Amino acid sequence: MTTGPAAEDSAPAPDAAAVSGDLSGPGDLPAYDDLPDGLVVADHARRVIVFNRAAQRITGLSSASALGKDLDDALPLEGLDGRLWWPCARPYDGLSTVTGHPERNLLLPGGHEVLVTARYVRAEPRGVVQRVVVGLRDTRHRAREELSRAELVSTVAHELRSPLTSVKGFTATLLAKWDRFNDDQKRLMLETVNADADRVTRLITELLDIARIDSGRLAVRRQIVDLPRVVARHVAAMVAAGETEHRFDVQLHDGIPEMWVDADKLDQVLGNLLENAVRHGSGKVTIVAEPEGDGAAVTVMDEGEGIPDEQRDRVFTRFWRSGRRGGTGLGLYIVRGLVEAHGGHIEVGQAPGGGARFRFVLPAAAPDFAD
């Protein structure tokens, strides 16, 4: 089969309606104008027949100036090495086995960098290219992602340095001067090493959770859980760890169904919220568990300073910190991810006593919906 320009000219020219198919929105507006990414489509004769709103925003060009033009002229792209990209890509007269190009960084006139993907639509394998579909994304989104990764690496390095320095220092001292210390001194140093090792383990667990949440690979292993018993167990553990019993007010309402949830992740959510209330709040910590819809809700409140209104929208983002005490700032981001993985939601507000109020709701999912 001939794949050169002559063969292409004999193919029927699809119009914009053919490209969009049934992609129509309210008021008969093409639905591709609602896409968040830029979309450019050229027909078999290289004429641009779709140039959506996002493409206009990203390129700074109007659809009127692009529609009907040759693809090379309507969307002039250069590689980062300065070479014109379309002559290199050769969508219409290149190899007939090529179906497109993966996302890559290219330059628009003026040096504006964009992320470009291309797909070649053929009527049949190795046939004539009927359409070239180009996707455009602004690099600002990629830049924000890269900045977030850099900040994560910086935070992790800082958080790891302190406990690892302590572990290295104490172990080196014990190995070099074991006989000079009595048993109480050795025990104190080993307890410090053990606590710092726990800090490192918790940080690694947080990083793994973030990776799974961001990639959508967070596995929820459901089992039947008695929520009131879990809440009571967490409070008892905090009392055993040294908190006074009268600091906690536990309110367990009747009618809470058996919850089909991931027990480990529920422990992680409750543990984080209670630890935050004890560490960052003050006064009495109130925990309320009650039925909510077809599931249950848990509220954790303290009597501290609370969270200012202007910061509440950022509480569940990465690296948010109250500003008073340390931490990675990743805990509440993970809490939200764990709750949402169960099909639930979490919110923050002001407690009646003026402190912070966290409330999360989980559905009591039936076994048929277990992951």
Asked whether residue 119 falls in the same domain as residue 91, the answer is: yes
Asked whether residue 292 falls in the same domain as residue 275, the answer is: yes
**pLDDT band at residue 300 using 50, 70 and 90 as cut-offs:** very high
**CATH number of the domain where residue 269 is located:** 3.30.565.10
Asked whether residue 267 falls in the same domain as residue 362, the answer is: yes
Pairwise CA distance, residues 103 & 351, whole Å: 48
Asked whether residue 242 falls in the same domain as residue 291, the answer is: yes
**CATH number of the domain where residue 69 is located:** 3.30.450.20
Asked whether residue 245 falls in the same domain as residue 191, the answer is: no
Number of domains in the chain: 3
Asked whether residue 252 falls in the same domain as residue 351, the answer is: yes
Mean pLDDT in residue range 70-84: 89
**Residues of the domain holding 338:** 223-369
pLDDT at position 143? 64
Asked whether residue 199 falls in the same domain as residue 308, the answer is: no
Asked whether residue 134 falls in the same domain as residue 27, the answer is: yes
Check whether 39 has a pLDDT greater than 90: yes
Asked whether residue 229 falls in the same domain as residue 338, the answer is: yes
112-154 tens-digit pLDDT: 888 899 999 998 888 999 999 999 988 776 666 666 677 777 7
**Of the candidates 309, 360, 297, which has an alpha carbon nearest to the alpha carbon of residue 334?**
360
| Sequence-ordered alpha helix ranges (H) in the chain | 5-9, 16-20, 53-59, 63-66, 71-74, 85-89, 139-177, 183-215, 227-240, 263-280, 331-341
Asked whether residue 209 falls in the same domain as residue 238, the answer is: no
Domain-terminating residue out of 139, 162, 190? 139
Position 127: which residue type? G
**Of the candidates 92, 57, 60, which has an alpha carbon nearest to the alpha carbon of residue 76?**
60
Domain-terminating residue out of 191, 215, 239? 215
Q: In this structure, are residues 256 and 288 in contact, taking their beta carbons and an 8 Å threshold?
A: no
Domain-terminating residue out of 215, 250, 274? 215
Asked whether residue 88 falls in the same domain as residue 183, the answer is: no
**Of the candidates 338, 323, 95, 362, which has an alpha carbon nearest to the alpha carbon of residue 225?**
362
Lowest average pLDDT, out of 52-56, 131-135, 314-318, goes to 314-318
With 0-12 / 13-18 / 19 or more C-beta atoms within 10 angstroms meaning exposed / middle / buried, residue 38 is: buried
Tokens of 49: 């027949």
Asked whether residue 228 falls in the same domain as residue 353, the answer is: yes
**Of the candidates 115, 118, 73, which has an alpha carbon nearest to the alpha carbon of residue 98?**
118
190-245 tens-digit pLDDT: 999 998 898 888 788 888 888 888 777 888 899 999 999 999 999 999 999 889 99
Strand order in the sheet with 100-107: 48-51, 38-42, 129-138, 113-122, 100-107
Q: In this structure, are residues 113 and 105 in contact, taking their beta carbons and an 8 Å threshold?
A: yes
pLDDT at position 336? 93
How many separate helices (H) and strands (E) can be counted in the chain? 11, 12
Please report, to the nearest 10 degrees, the dihedral formed by the alpha carbons of residues 119, 122, 126, 127 taken in order.
-150
**CATH number of the domain where residue 176 is located:** 1.10.287.130
259-296 tens-digit pLDDT: 999 999 999 999 999 998 998 888 899 999 999 999 99
The 10 Å Cβ neighbour count of residue 81 is 7
- Using alpha carbons, list the distances in angstroms from residue 154 to 140, 198, 212: 21, 20, 20
